[in-house]
Amino acid sequence: MSLFRVLIVERRVATVAMLVVLAIGVLAGRWQLSRADQKIILANQITAMADREQIDLNAKNWTLLETQFRPVRARGRFLVNEVIWLDNRPNPKPQAGQTQSGFYVLMPFLLDGQEKRIVWVNRGWAPRNNQDRLILPSIKTPEGSVMIEGIALSSPGKVLELGNQPNSERTPRIQQNLDLTYEASRFTYPQSPFIIRQNDPDTDDGLSRIWPVATTGVDRHYAYAFQWFSLGAAALAFWFTTGFMRYRNQGKSSS
């Protein structure tokens, strides 16, 4: 009896199961590697853009292509009543051996000038109350016209979201992600297609602006990729080993 027949023909279910697990392992591993590559590319882009001339957002109506990853400045005033608390954001600078979840504080910023325009600002990170998430941290917001500086980004980043839709009537507005398209429909003023990740020095406003570097988590993606590839390899090895033992036992019994 041939080894091929014992491995595949007589073990169709086991073969299909092995191929499924192997495919999942390879595809998931490759996806994790691609995520690591994306973070490395993003970090290189941010580094390359950081030394370019700072953009004055009050000068004209800028596009995302013109501003992404560029240092920017803007003068205007915060719309305090429209704040959004983006939940499940880890502490950018946790204590050794400790992790803490919190909020990114997103606030619309109405630019000064003849052509009024809104740009969303990620003002920083604030800790969450572990007993009651509706008890929000105390932060300070400057009144009147102020100048802010930061980096222009397409979004504040996304986390896994299960059926949570933006709702401007919820108070306080605690949600997982920022939907710029939805927010643009709520204001009479036009809205910029990017956000500012504010990087002004500490102003004692209750917010942390120690932003994680873009390559944060690359090692974790490599570790996950290794685990997925190992799962596929283990499935292949188990399938072959059990099949070969069956082939050898059949050979002994027939001799």
pLDDT, tens digit (0-9, with 9 covering 90-100), for 6-44: 677 778 888 889 899 999 999 999 999 998 898 888 788
Both structure tokens of 235? 């499935």
- Once rounded to an integer, what is the mean pLDDT over residues 220-245? 90
DSSP assigned state of 212: P
| pLDDT higher than threshold 90 for residue 230 | yes
Q: 125-168, pLDDT tens digit by residue?
A: 999 887 887 889 899 999 999 999 999 999 888 776 666 566 66
Q: Where in the chain does DSSP place strands (E)?
A: 55-56, 71-78, 84-90, 101-111, 118-127, 146-153, 174-175, 191-198
Query: According to the model, what pLDDT value does residue 163 have?
Result: 60
Residue closest to 22 by CA, chosen among 245, 248, 243, 240 = 240
Average pLDDT, the chain: 85
Residue closest to 84 by CA, chosen among 64, 107, 63, 65 = 107
Query: According to the model, what pLDDT value does residue 94 have?
Result: 62
CA 133 to chain CA centroid, Å, is 21
| pLDDT over 70, % of the chain | 87
Rounded distance between C-alpha atoms, residue 167 and residue 174, angstroms: 9
CB within 8 A of 175, min separation 6: which ones? Answer: 84, 85, 86, 87, 164, 166, 167
CB 102 within 8 A of CB 91: yes
Q: Where in 156-243 does DSSP place strands (E)?
A: 174-175, 191-198
Query: According to the model, what pLDDT value does residue 211 have?
Result: 83
Place of tokens 């930061």: 150
CB 2 within 8 A of CB 254: no
3-state SS assignment for residue 158: coil
- Once rounded to an integer, what is the mean pLDDT over residues 201-222? 79
Sequence letter at residue 237: A
